[in-house]
Structure 1
Amino acid sequence: MIKTILTNLALVTTLLIVQPLTTPAQATNPIIYADVPDLSMIRVGDTYYMSSTTMHMSPGVPIMKSKDLVNWQIVSYCYDVLDSVDALNLDNGKFAYGSGSWASSIRYHKGTFYVSTFAGTTGKTYIYTTKNIEKGPWKKISFKPMMHDHSLFFDDDGKVYMIYGGGRLMIAELEADLTGIKAGTTPQVLIEDASKPGGPNMGLKAEGSQLFKENGKYYLFNICWPRGGMRTVTIHRADKITGPYEGRLGFQDKGVAQGGLISTPKGDWYAYLFRDYGAVGRIPYWVPVQWVDGWPVIGVDGKVPDTLAKLPASKGLMPGIVASDDFNRKKNDRALPLVWQWNHNPDNANWSLAARKGWLRITTGRVDTSLLLVKNMLTQRTFGPTSAASTLMDVSNMKEGDCAGLALLQKKFGWVGVKMEGGKKWLVMINGDKTAPVEVERVPLTANTVYLKADCDFRDRTDKGTFSYSLDGQSWTHIGNILQMEYTLPHFMGYRFGLFNWATKSTGGWVEWDGMGLSK
């Protein structure tokens, strides 16, 4: 039955997303209505590549590709596992929510792609290199110290630098092989107070450095946030990479900020930036740029335009950024499509797509005390303005104390699923939008299969989540109450759909899912 649902969802997706009844002739903002923050972008010939932040997720540092700046697909990740430490493994009560790897920097230099990032979890800076950005393999370099929100830069004289820091920005020259800070050198102050162009009473000081060189001059983009104001772009310019730099306020509208510059093959320029937009996360916007007196001037009369006449219409997020999955695999298919990520490093011994053809099986490997500590939660982004996920779950092999289902994952999570208690199965809705998770409703379940559904409404930052279930895949029954979703800083990520199974008493029980369908 879930295959039929997925087919129908595909048809709906085609009608609503791929072939709308009235096709707009131009791109609209936001470009991507999903959590794709900390953008870094390059163009190689006529192809754009973009990296982003997914922090504690595995695999990590997604690489996206586009031919037109509007329609993107995930083509790679820099790593499967950033590092094996307790926090990234969800071991010994530790976790990496809000941490893991942060803002990356993507570069292309002499036939090689470079993507660098850093992690407060490990205190390291990481650089990944490959000749083939879509197929890999990726080579990993790591070193200390951790360089916060850095920009990797290959200068024309062959030297390699990182610009990094917050408020007081630093510059460090790297070894030619990128294995660390160049021997015999020490990082130097590049700009003492990079927040200054953003105004007084600064809350978030300048960070998110991205450095560019155009017409012989160096341009450094940063984000700052004045108290009581909004996220703001600052730009500094210099004739030499080491400065001195002169700065100015670069852009201030709707809180759209943090990113850099990209040009099209036709010579049009844009700033790629993002906006904090509630529970769905931090969503990308493109803003036109004109060059005036040697400065990039962002915006249309200083504002973010709703439409971009020189860029084509979006064909939608599916299947490039999110996608339905029936869990059927052909011989040479990836085990999991790139739209999927695990919440923290997975335990690969306890999940399978081969144990039952066309089904995902997750087996409990340990006893846990909280949904947020559960190994092997398989996730995808939620997306706006509205989105829904549905799945068919087989609970025949649950053990006493097991909990399994479909979650909306953030610190203030909610889920619908099945609890095994007293030898009986119960359909439950759990709401975690208050101080502690609460079981809002339960109904007895006598069947061994049940359909589950989670709906999200992000319109105008409504940020409402609701859950329902069905025994036949046709007639749905609402369960529980509204989850008031909230983007929290401890998790620092937009909500995710998640499939999970966890034990509270003993291990070895398993649950299977017959695909997951996504729709608007």
Structure 2
Amino acid sequence: MNRFSLIISCIVGLIFQLSVNAQKDKAQNPLIFADVPDMSMIRVGDTYYMSSTTMHLSPGVPIMKSTDLVNWKIVNYAYDRLGEVDALNLKNGEAAYGRGSWASCIRYHNGTFYVFTFAATTGKTYVFSTEDIENGPWKETSFEPSYHDLTVHFDEDGKVYMIWGAGKLMIAELENDLSGVKKGTKRILIENASAPAGDNIMLGAEGSQLFKINGTYYLFNITWPRGGMRTVLVHRADHINGPWEGKLALQDKGVAQGGLIDTPDGKWFSYLFRDYGSVGRIPYLVPVVWEDGWPILGENGKVPDTLDLPPSEGLIPNIVASDEFERKKNDPTLPLVWQWNHNPVDSLWSLTDHKGFLRLATGRTDETLVDTRNTFTQRTIGPVCTGVTSIDLSNMKEGDNAGLALLQKNYGWVGVTHENGKKKIVMVLGNDEGEKTVEELALNQKTIYLKASCDFTNKKDEAQFYYSLDGRNWSKIGTTLKMSYTLPHFMGYRFGLFNYATAQSGGYVDFDYFRIKNERD
């Protein structure tokens, strides 16, 4: 190589490295590589708040906070328990998988925060309100029926409007106390809101989010042309009753469903999400500029990989987190990263009966993991992640099963069963047809270490399970779990700590810790 070629090579290398460094100093898409769908977002001063969907999990409707639109922290939930129907309590053969509460709408008006949501499981529409969104308390108001994918707007004239529906969008005024719909105000807002995306539509326009900017109303929706991808639609009008004109606003990577948010210094973004295989529906941000009174989404119609915002500091510990189950006097009993699979039975779990451990006891018999109450869950995160736990098995009873799961409709778990007076390490696959033990090994000690490792890179969607007898030397067990996102559960895979009985109730196990990292072992 001559001197000139060497100089050129060095310059090219330097430019590449500077480019890489510049990328590291910017926010990246996806914004959150975890299941945070159906986002609704507001800015109050220089602070952003976001609500999203967790359906059948308890507590529900997570509230997240950010000061830069990139780094988010779970600060509260809108409710502890959505209701006491059998489906939410996993009783009498009923379950709320894929249901519970769906797409919420967060608003701030006259010093009060509001979160609106709906639930086909209970047949109700809910209004949760508080003056302190991070600490509560929340006031709950509900009314029937359940209004699908609603959005709410507090207008300057004192009226409160609600828009909902799919394909044909409806509008009504709410009572002043938000206790229901005013009689005689329900009407069609847009007869065919999907029209800007064509005639051959697989999913009618839904996911409404309404905004009023400089006197103009903007309504965001998602639709899905047959043979195409999830698509963003925007309608606008000078008056709430129309006439409305609509246009296709973004069609790239299937990134869709969301709305608008601005920064204190005048930048605009659209928050949206993308179906990304088994990790779930993951948030994206796209820049927005304004042309002729329309929000123009993306860069040349595309979703950018980087954003002119601060870089992410990672999802640990504000979206998911390790937990040693050690509690001091003023520590929260349950960190907000945790949610129960359906409503828990509070008498059957404890952080005090065995100090430094999470105790899960059985109160009835069940056939499989998905029938089980008090499964303790956290999100998985991408592109890769690993969860590890250790369990004291001393007080298992005949027929008990305990361990670490990756939970969705097609699930897998590694753990211990107690059969015929003996304990066995097992790896199990499960689905609607039941559970199948893939591998089992004899266990002759009272403590076991378990690990589950996920790979969501480029939708690889594979997981492996491991066990250890000493916490240092690990062995793979069973087979690869082919993870898949299914509509019956309608959420990304979650780590789950569980204990269920198949023969008799009254046994319990003690989890020493749960540790998560964004690496794959």
Could you state the TM-score of these two structures normalised by the residue count of structure 2? Answer: 0.95
Residue of 336, 339, 342 corresponding to 2:337: 339
Task: In structure 1, give the amino acid aligned to 2:36.
Answer: V
Which one is further off, 443-452 or 431-440? Answer: 431-440
Question: Are residues 1:387 and 2:366 paired?
Answer: no
**Could you say what secondary structure the match of 2:196 adopts?**
helix
**Could you say what secondary structure the match of 1:390 adopts?**
strand
Which one is further off, 67-76 or 191-200? Answer: 191-200
Taking only aligned residues, the RMSD between alpha carbons, in angstroms, comes to 1.2
**Could you say what secondary structure the match of 2:31 adopts?**
coil
1:351 aligned residue: 349
**Could you say what secondary structure the match of 1:145 adopts?**
coil
Task: In structure 2, give the amino acid aligned to 1:287.
Answer: V
Q: Is the 8 A contact 2:169 2:191 kept in 1?
A: yes
Task: In structure 1, give the amino acid aligned to 2:299.
Answer: V
Call closer, same or farther: CA 1:23–1:474 in 2, change over 3 Å.
Answer: farther
2:273 aligned residue: 274
1:372 aligned residue: 370
Q: Deviations over 1:214-235 (max 9, x none)?
A: 1110000000011110000000
Measure, in 2, the Cα distance between the counterparts of 1:21 and 1:294: 36
- Displacement after TM superposition at 1:186 (Å): 3.6
Measure, in 1, the Cα distance between the counterparts of 2:436 and 2:327: 37
Q: RCO greater where, 1 or 2, for CA within 8 Å and sep 6 or more?
A: 1
**Could you say what secondary structure the match of 2:472 adopts?**
coil
Residue of 466, 488, 494 corresponding to 2:464: 466
1:248 aligned residue: 247
After TM superposition, list the pairs within 5 Å mapping 1:96-245 onto structure 2.
Answer: 96-182=96-182, 184-245=183-244
Question: Are residues 1:426 and 2:421 paired?
Answer: no
Q: Deviations over 1:28-47 (max 9, x none)?
A: 00000000000000000000
Could you state the TM-score of these two structures normalised by the residue count of structure 1? Answer: 0.95
2:290 aligned residue: 291
Q: Is the 8 A contact 1:433 1:485 kept in 2?
A: no
- Displacement after TM superposition at 1:334 (Å): 1.1
Measure, in 1, the Cα distance between the counterparts of 2:460 and 2:435: 21
Residue of 443, 447, 472 corresponding to 2:441: 443
Measure, in 2, the Cα distance between the counterparts of 1:241 and 1:319: 42
Measure, in 1, the Cα distance between the counterparts of 2:474 and 2:431: 24
Task: In structure 2, give the amino acid aligned to 1:503.
Answer: A
Task: In structure 2, give the amino acid aligned to 1:448.
Answer: K
Measure, in 2, the Cα distance between the counterparts of 1:330 and 1:45: 34
- Displacement after TM superposition at 1:21 (Å): 10
Measure, in 2, the Cα distance between the counterparts of 1:329 and 1:456: 29
- Displacement after TM superposition at 1:438 (Å): 1.5
Task: In structure 2, give the amino acid aligned to 1:236.
Answer: H
Measure, in 2, the Cα distance between the counterparts of 1:141 and 1:176: 12
Question: Are residues 1:62 and 2:67 paired?
Answer: no
Measure, in 1, the Cα distance between the counterparts of 2:298 and 2:164: 26
Measure, in 1, the Cα distance between the counterparts of 2:323 and 2:485: 26
Q: Is the 8 A contact 1:207 1:224 kept in 2?
A: yes
Which one is further off, 319-328 or 435-444? Answer: 435-444
- Displacement after TM superposition at 1:436 (Å): 4.3
Call closer, same or farther: CA 1:294–1:21 in 2, change over 3 Å.
Answer: closer
Q: Deviations over 1:182-217 (max 9, x none)?
A: 1x3241000000011112210010000000001110
Q: Is the 8 A contact 1:329 1:358 kept in 2?
A: yes
Measure, in 1, the Cα distance between the counterparts of 2:434 and 2:506: 27
Measure, in 2, the Cα distance between the counterparts of 1:386 and 1:371: 24
Measure, in 2, the Cα distance between the counterparts of 1:475 and 1:148: 51
Measure, in 2, the Cα distance between the counterparts of 1:433 and 1:314: 36
**Could you say what secondary structure the match of 1:102 adopts?**
coil
Call closer, same or farther: CA 1:23–1:470 in 2, change over 3 Å.
Answer: farther
Q: Is the 8 A contact 1:41 1:106 kept in 2?
A: yes
Q: Deviations over 1:120-144 (max 9, x none)?
A: 1011000000000000000000001
Task: In structure 2, give the amino acid aligned to 1:64.
Answer: M
Which one is further off, 161-170 or 22-31? Answer: 22-31
Task: In structure 2, give the amino acid aligned to 1:379.
Answer: T
Question: Are residues 1:505 and 2:503 paired?
Answer: yes
Call closer, same or farther: CA 1:139–1:487 in 2, change over 3 Å.
Answer: same
Report the structure number with the largest CA radius of gyration.
Answer: 2
Measure, in 1, the Cα distance between the counterparts of 2:252 and 2:147: 29
Q: Is the 8 A contact 1:340 1:378 kept in 2?
A: yes
Call closer, same or farther: CA 1:276–1:486 in 2, change over 3 Å.
Answer: same
1:15 aligned residue: none
Measure, in 2, the Cα distance between the counterparts of 1:152 and 1:327: 40
1:91 aligned residue: 91
Task: In structure 2, give the amino acid aligned to 1:251.
Answer: L
Measure, in 1, the Cα distance between the counterparts of 2:361 and 2:80: 21
Task: In structure 1, give the amino acid aligned to 2:281.
Answer: R
Question: Are residues 1:326 and 2:321 paired?
Answer: no
Question: Are residues 1:478 and 2:476 paired?
Answer: yes
Question: Are residues 1:403 and 2:385 paired?
Answer: no
- Displacement after TM superposition at 1:432 (Å): 2.5
Measure, in 1, the Cα distance between the counterparts of 2:289 and 2:297: 7
Call closer, same or farther: CA 1:258–1:73 in 2, change over 3 Å.
Answer: same
Task: In structure 2, give the amino acid aligned to 1:431.
Answer: L
Task: In structure 2, give the amino acid aligned to 1:312.
Answer: P
Q: Is the 8 A contact 2:380 2:494 kept in 1?
A: yes
Q: Deviations over 1:438-466 (max 9, x none)?
A: 21000000010000000000001000011
**Could you say what secondary structure the match of 1:372 adopts?**
helix
**Could you say what secondary structure the match of 2:393 adopts?**
strand
- Displacement after TM superposition at 1:437 (Å): 2.7
Call closer, same or farther: CA 1:502–1:228 in 2, change over 3 Å.
Answer: same
1:304 aligned residue: 303
**Could you say what secondary structure the match of 2:179 adopts?**
coil
Q: Is the 8 A contact 1:275 1:285 kept in 2?
A: yes
Q: Which runs of 4+ in 1 moved over 4 A?
A: 20-23, 433-436
After TM superposition, list the pairs within 5 Å mapping 1:69-80 onto structure 2.
Answer: 69-80=69-80
- Displacement after TM superposition at 1:243 (Å): 1.2
Q: Deviations over 1:272-309 (max 9, x none)?
A: 0000000000000000000000000001000000001x
Call closer, same or farther: CA 1:92–1:241 in 2, change over 3 Å.
Answer: same
**Could you say what secondary structure the match of 1:197 adopts?**
helix
- Displacement after TM superposition at 1:434 (Å): 8.8
Measure, in 2, the Cα distance between the counterparts of 1:485 and 1:100: 23
Q: Is the 8 A contact 2:409 2:432 kept in 1?
A: no
Structure 2 runs not aligned, ≥5 long: 1-19
Measure, in 2, the Cα distance between the counterparts of 1:212 and 1:58: 30
Measure, in 1, the Cα distance between the counterparts of 2:485 and 2:366: 25
Q: Is the 8 A contact 1:432 1:483 kept in 2?
A: no
Task: In structure 1, give the amino acid aligned to 2:261.
Answer: I
1:17 aligned residue: none
Q: Deviations over 1:373-394 (max 9, x none)?
A: 1010000000000001000111
Q: Is the 8 A contact 1:389 1:518 kept in 2?
A: yes
**Could you say what secondary structure the match of 1:397 adopts?**
coil
Measure, in 2, the Cα distance between the counterparts of 1:186 and 1:297: 33
**Could you say what secondary structure the match of 1:208 adopts?**
strand
**Could you say what secondary structure the match of 2:347 adopts?**
helix
Q: Is the 8 A contact 1:414 1:432 kept in 2?
A: yes
Measure, in 1, the Cα distance between the counterparts of 2:130 and 2:290: 33
